[in-house]
Amino acid sequence: MAQSKGIREVGYLDVIGGGQVTIDRNIAYLGHVKSPAGTTMVDVSDPKHPRIIGSIEMPPGTHSHKVRVANNIMVTNREVMPFKGAQSPDGFKGGNAVYETSAPEGFKGGLSIYDVSTPGKPRHITNWETGGTGMSGVHRFDFDGRYAYISPTVDGYLGNIVMILDLKDPAKPEEVGRWWMPGQWTAGGEVPTWKGSAHRCHHPLRYGNRLYTSYWHGGWVILDIEDMSKPKFVSGADWSPPFSSPTHTMLRVPFQIEGRTLAIVADEDAQKLEPSPPAFMWIVDISVETNPVPFASFQLDCFDGSPQPNFTGCHQPSEKFIGTEVPVAWFAMGLRVVDIAKPHAPKEVAYYMPDVPLGSTRVQSNDVTMDDRGLIYLYDRLHGLHILERE
């Protein structure tokens, strides 16, 4: 039976799991991890009784596990996946290698763009295609209704880079600018100092004229996009190694706390450098953004410091939250609500541990977001969408 503290379940949808849940105008858009499921649209205007109103499929050997919606435009990623049991692109086994079937001949990763002015009836506008090898396509990304801030693989570059696309005309996306970590542009003669594509863009998040960008085992960077055609490096940090887990998300806190400008950095409990304790969350002071200072962290009390299997610890904070309480999807430990009001000492104030989904061996809380009503949407990687509220 589900366990909770300070959280009440409002509704539940029995649906195949995935990588991201996005809410727009009381419609939940679910990006699925494994084909043929691609994207599902769910009416959550009555959160006690969510209902599926539309869906899109993907070909075998591919997936579309991320989705963003703004200004009646839905953008989904298209990514080619490796064979089952294959070594992942950064040189570490496991992770996302889940497919036994290759992508169809001629399939290219990138983005799909839809008109969702009628949410349950998405109208396909176009596909934007990219190149690259391995897990080729676009991984996670941000979209503000005009510009998409993406993480594509690109011919001539090692691993995913940062790119900005202009979707002013959604039928004709245009590249505005790109940035890469020195060493990625191998076609230009650059030589990486890391193994494989371990240093690669996971996803940028825009706040004002900055992109707060996670870079996997390359840590994270802050980019100045005042001139979008020429993103400029402001600062960054990389703590992997000595810490074993890669960096998944850098999220700028949209208000000051105790007079400081802060960012939440979540490492992902996957594709570790070596067996280690579960990944955790950091608080970074970026008040002087050219000199960022990681000064606090948060980990669950139940861990004793011993190595644990992948997909046990931290994954993804909600990119939208109310006040100083931040919902965080914590893989095998469900939802954790972390209060950062005292940023030097973040503390858990609520949690929700779902039942293990049918057909699974444990919970895999993969993504979480909030809507304008304050409801929390917790999405399992393998199965099930929980709609919750803070008590």
Tens of pLDDT, residues 274-309: 999 999 999 999 999 999 999 999 999 999 999 999
Task: Quick: pLDDT tens for 72-118.
Answer: 999 999 998 765 544 333 333 334 444 456 888 888 999 999 999 99
pLDDT at 359: 80
First to last CA, the chain: 19
For the chain, domain boundaries = 3-390
Q: Are 351 and 344 in contact (CB under 8 A)?
A: no
Non-local (6+) Cβ contacts of 106 within 8 A are none
List, in sequence order, every residue forming a beta bridge with 31; answer none if it has no partner: 20, 39
Per DSSP, the three-state class of 188 is helix
Largest CA distance in the chain: 57
- Is cis: bond before 242, omega within 30 of 0? yes
Q: Give the H or E element holding residue 386.
A: strand 383-390
Is the model's pLDDT at 32 over the cut of 70? Answer: yes
Are residues 157 and 141 in contact, defined by beta-carbon separation less than 8 angstroms? no
* Token pair for 101: 């079937």
Confidence of residue 204 (pLDDT cuts 50, 70, 90): very high
Tell me the sheet residues that pair with 256.
none
pLDDT at 134: 57
Q: Confirm if 237 and 250 have CB atoms less than 8 A apart.
A: no
The token duo for 310 is 């992948």
pTM for this entry: 0.94
CB distance 8 to 388 below 8 Å: yes
Residues 6+ apart with CB under 8 A from 298: 280, 281, 282, 283, 338, 346, 347, 348
pLDDT score recorded for residue 290:
98
Within 8 A by CB and 6+ apart from 288, the residues are: none
pLDDT digits (tens, 9 = 90+) for 327-365: 999 999 999 999 999 999 999 999 999 999 988 899 999
**Mean pLDDT calculated for residue range 58-64:** 92
CA distances from 167 to 128, 162, 206, 359 (A): 11, 16, 15, 40
Query: How many angstroms separate the Cα of 244 from the Cα of each of 68, 184, 249?
Result: 30, 21, 16
Q: What fold is seen in the domain 3-390?
A: Methylamine Dehydrogenase; Chain H (2.130.10)
Task: Give per-residue pLDDT as tens, 206-231.
Answer: 999 999 999 999 999 999 999 999 99
pLDDT in tens, 129-187: 997 655 689 999 999 999 999 999 999 999 999 999 999 999 999 999 999 999 999 99
- Contact between residue 388 and residue 352 where contact means Cβ atoms under 8 Å apart: yes
